[in-house]
């Protein structure tokens, strides 16, 4: 039995890598992939924590989170396509419409 | 009866293998300048995380992770990358906001490890993560969240079609 803390450390590393990618990259698609990394890390913590209590309910909750992630990816990529049509670019630094 | 190989040792080896796979692939996602390489590395990360789910005994979630993430979500990402026909990011000098972002992420890592790394949890789950158990949970106690998830997917699907289609009726991007 692997200690739960080991899973937490792996998930923390994945989350931090995702956060670093989101904060440092300018390509909207790669930023979006980083968000997916963070979501996966959160799911891993959820399952690791539930493995010492009730893995069935933890899995059910993680499954709902996967469904939300799937919906989110669809909407996010549609927005990126719409932005690309508007600007011919996926550079986050060019999206300054709301800059005032 | 003695097993030839200790099963807990196998689980441990699998844990380290899948952890290393997912972390190295995640680094590739963030560092590589070609978005297609990032997307393929993201598939490897998802597979690594699926392996970690397997070492936890969450068999159904392992299957869902591979089907939904490595299958559906990645196809969507690759489809959009190829639709937009992106070039590599031009080389960028590290400047202050990026270094700040990286520093913030490292601080976050230390904070998370400090908070979560010392967790000691003993005991085993009262239920398995098999499809049978999850089906019983979803179609009994948690029928409402289940229906809400279906509704969310339907609404997202309609929203995506509305946002992504051209308003002038032409078919090309």
Q: Is A51 on the interface with B (CB under 8 A)?
A: yes
Any idea which residue has 């493995």 for tokens? A51
Average pLDDT, chain B: 87
pLDDT of residue B12 exceeding 50:
yes
CB contact under 8 A, A30 and B102: no
Contact predicate A38/A50, CB 8 Å:
no
The domains found in chain A, sorted by start residue, are 4-91 (1.10.287.3510)
Nearest CA among B53, B32, B164, B153 for reference residue A33: B32
Q: What is the pLDDT of residue B19?
A: 96
What is the set of domains in chain B, with CATH numbers?
A: 8-89+128-164 (1.20.120.1200)
CA gap A92, B39 in Å, rounded: 18
| Chain B interface includes A82 (CB < 8 A) | yes
Does the structure show a pLDDT above 80 at B167? no
Contacts of B53 in chain A (CB under 8 A): 44, 47
Per-residue pLDDT of chain A (100 residues; tens, 9 = 90+): 788 899 999 999 999 999 999 998 888 999 999 999 999 999 999 999 998 888 899 999 999 999 999 999 999 999 999 888 888 888 887 888 777 6
CA distance B136 to B148: 17
% of residues, chain B, pLDDT over 70: 90
Q: Given the cut 0.90, state whether the ipTM is greater than it.
A: yes
- If you measure CA to CA, which chain B residue comes closest to A46? B53
- Residue-level pLDDT at B87: 67
The pLDDT value given to residue B1 = 46
């Amino acid at each position: 039995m692997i200690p739960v803390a080991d899973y937490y450390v792996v998930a923390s590393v994945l989350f931090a890598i995702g956060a670093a990618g989101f904060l440092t990259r300018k390509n909207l698609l790669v930023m979006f992939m980083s968000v997916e990394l963070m979501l996966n890390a959160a799911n891993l913590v959820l399952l690791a924590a539930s493995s010492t209590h009730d893995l069935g309910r933890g899995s059910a909750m993680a499954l709902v989170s996967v469904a939300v992630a799937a919906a989110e990816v669809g909407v996010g990529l549609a927005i990126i396509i719409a932005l690309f049509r508007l600007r011919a670019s996926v550079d986050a630094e060019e999206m300054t419409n709301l800059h005032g | 009866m003695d097993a030839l190989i200790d099963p807990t040792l196998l689980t441990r080896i699998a844990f380290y293998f899948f952890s290393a796979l997912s972390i190295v692939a995640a680094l590739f996602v963030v560092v590589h300048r070609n978005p297609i390489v990032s997307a393929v590395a993201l598939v490897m990360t998802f597979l690594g995380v699926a392996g970690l789910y397997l070492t936890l005994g969450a068999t159904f979630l392992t299957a869902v992770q591979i089907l939904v993430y490595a299958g559906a979500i990645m196809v969507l990402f690759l489809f959009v990358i190829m639709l937009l026909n992106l070039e590599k990011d031009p080389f960028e000098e590290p400047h202050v906001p990026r270094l700040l972002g990286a520093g913030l992420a490292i601080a976050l890592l230390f904070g998370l490890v400090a908070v979560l790394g010392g967790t000691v949890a003993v005991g085993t789950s009262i239920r398995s993560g098999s499809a049978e158990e999850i089906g019983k949970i979803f179609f009994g106690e948690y029928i409402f969240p289940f229906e809400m998830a279906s509704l969310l997917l339907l609404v997202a699907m309609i929203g995506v079609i509305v946002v992504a289609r051209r308003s002038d009726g032409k078919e090309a991007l």
